[in-house]
């Protein structure tokens, strides 16, 4: 057999299997695959009304701790750079 004949036979087999699948799908009542996602017509539901967010405030103590930690990091980086 040559390649063209093999391809023609494979195509015929695919067509036969597809028609058999379609016939079985009609019998089972599900002609199409179930669709993913939210069903059509459903609405976005807002769970709760969110009020205006208050700006976050950092205490003076918190700012001081962050500043000290950053100064330590800078000192370590400077020390490492001087050591090279």
Signed CA dihedral, 67, 57, 55, 50: sign only: positive
CA 82, distance to chain mean position in Å, is 46
Largest separation between any pair of C-alpha atoms in the chain: 87
What's the angle, vertex CA 83, arms to CA 81 and CA 84, rounded to 5? 70
Give 49-71 pLDDT, tens digit per residue: 667 888 989 999 999 999 999 99
**Residue 51: what pLDDT?**
76
Residue 41: predicted pLDDT: 80
């Amino acid at each position: 057999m040559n390649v063209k004949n093999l391809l023609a036979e494979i195509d015929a087999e695919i067509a036969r299997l597809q028609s058999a699948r379609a016939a079985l799908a009609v019998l089972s009542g599900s002609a199409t695959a179930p669709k993913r996602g939210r069903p059509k017509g459903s609405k976005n539901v807002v769970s709760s009304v969110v009020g205006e967010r208050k700006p976050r405030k950092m205490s003076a103590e918190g700012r001081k701790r962050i500043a000290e930690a950053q100064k330590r990091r800078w000192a370590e980086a400077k020390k490492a750079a001087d050591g090279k």
